[in-house]
């Protein structure tokens, strides 16, 4: 399989065939994200020939895999016609595939009508991963997300209306130590409005090749410590009221791996956080946390 640079994919797509359709991210201005800062990751759409060669490779060597993830961070930005052609190619080369997933930024989602999204679902699109990061407009502005809480609510609701599985990612710590609680509460509010099928909560780890990483190294941005992250996680969980939804805070960046179904497992997860806050639950050590 031929890829341009490193490939970023959701943890739940570990067993999927990864087909790189776009390189990088068309927005690529978020101050916390270092995934596409390398010059080799300047945004472009790969040629049909490049994509077909990888599909042919997958057809020969990935016959047992039933799912495809389309990388990098911006595949949904393609025109409807090109996406439908792409999905048909996937099914032609890989007839065993029953699920196609991709990242969808909110601008790209809003560029599609509900009918467009339903058509994509009909042709195999099963899951969209959307990066909410925060529901706090002040935080979104400071990290140059290029979105507001309302614009992301509109995008999330559009995916839901189309009947596509929506997984939303949030970043604990993105509001800094001072804005931690407000960030958690506003993020929960937006999640309640969207009501995704899955919520993934990661902990922010400032990277040296990002604007936020530079602010962090200079002391201009203060990240909550492990205890602060747990308090923020507790605040987020307490304020999420949508049900049912799969809640996952078991990414390698998290201090306390949690996973459960809301509302069913909410009390148990809150009790686990409380045990951790009182020293009765062992946290992941810093050297073992990673992105």
pTM equals 0.95
What CATH code is carried by the domain that includes residue 39? Answer: 3.20.20.70
For the chain, 291 residues long, give each residue's pLDDT as a single digit of tens: 899 988 889 989 999 999 999 999 989 999 999 988 887 788 999 999 999 999 999 999 999 999 999 999 889 999 999 999 999 999 999 999 999 999 999 999 999 999 999 999 999 999 999 999 999 999 999 999 999 999 999 999 999 999 999 999 999 999 999 999 999 999 999 999 999 999 999 999 999 999 999 999 999 999 999 999 999 999 999 999 999 999 999 999 999 999 999 999 999 999 999 999 999 999 999 999 998
What size, in residues, is the chain?
Answer: 291
CB proximity list for 131: less than 8 A, separation 6 or greater: 103, 105, 168, 169
32 within some domain: yes
186 within some domain: yes
List C-alpha distances in Å: 211 to 90, 137, 218. 37, 19, 11
**Which pLDDT score, from 0 to 100, does residue 84 have?**
97
291 within some domain: no
- 143 C-beta neighbours (distance < 10 Å), count: 22
- Ordered alpha helix ranges (H), the chain: 48-61, 80-93, 106-110, 114-122, 137-142, 149-161, 180-194, 211-218, 226-239, 266-277
| Domain span holding position 277 | 11-283
**Which pLDDT score, from 0 to 100, does residue 260 have?**
97
Please name every residue paired with 248 in a beta bridge, in sequence order, or none if there are none.
Answer: 200, 259
Query: Distance between CA atoms of 5 and 7, rounded to whole angstroms?
Result: 7
Please tell me the total count of domains within the chain: 1
4 within some domain: no
**Which pLDDT score, from 0 to 100, does residue 5 have?**
86
2 within some domain: no
DSSP 132: E
**Which pLDDT score, from 0 to 100, does residue 41 have?**
80
- Asked if omega into 135 is within 30° of 0 (cis), the reply is no
3 within some domain: no
Sign of CA dihedral 269, 250, 199, 132: positive
Please name the helix (run of DSSP H) or strand (run of DSSP E) that holds residue 220, with its range, or none. none
148 within some domain: yes
- 7 C-beta neighbours (distance < 10 Å), count: 14
Pairing of strands 44-45, 22-23: antiparallel
| Residue closest to 40 by CA, chosen among 15, 70, 20, 10 | 20
289 within some domain: no
């Amino acid at each position: 399989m031929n890829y341009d640079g490193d490939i970023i994919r959701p943890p739940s797509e570990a067993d999927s065939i990864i087909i790189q359709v776009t390189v990088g991210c068309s927005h690529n201005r978020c101050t916390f994200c270092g995934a596409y800062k390398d010059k080799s990751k300047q945004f472009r759409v790969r040629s049909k020939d490049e994509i077909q060669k990888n599909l042919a490779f997958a057809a020969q060597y990935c016959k047992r895999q039933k799912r495809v993830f389309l990388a990098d961070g911006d595949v949904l930005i393609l025109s409807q016609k090109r996406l439908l052609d792409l999905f048909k190619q996937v099914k032609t080369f890989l007839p065993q595939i029953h699920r196609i997933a991709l990242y969808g930024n909110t601008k790209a989602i809003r560029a599609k009508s509900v009918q467009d999204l339903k058509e994509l679902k009909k042709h195999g699109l099963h899951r969209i991963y959307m990066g909410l990061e925060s529901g706090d407009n002040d935080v979104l502005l400071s990290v140059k997300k290029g979105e507001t809480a309302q614009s992301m609510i509109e995008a999330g609701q559009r995916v839901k209306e189309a009947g596509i599985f929506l997984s939303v990612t949030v970043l604990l710590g993105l509001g800094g130590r001072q804005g931690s609680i407000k960030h958690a509460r506003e993020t929960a509010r937006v999640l309640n409005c969207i009501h995704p099928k899955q919520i993934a909560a990661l902990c922010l780890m400032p990277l040296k090749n990002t604007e936020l990483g530079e602010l962090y190294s200079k002391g201009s941005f203060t990240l909550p410590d492990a205890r602060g992250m747990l308090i923020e996680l507790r605040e987020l969980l307490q304020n999420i009221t949508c049900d049912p939804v799969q809640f996952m805070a078991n990414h390698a960046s998290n201090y306390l791996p949690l996973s459960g179904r809301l509302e069913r497992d909410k009390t148990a997860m809150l009790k686990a956080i409380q045990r951790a806050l009182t020293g009765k639950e062992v946290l992941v050590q810093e050297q073992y946390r990673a992105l």
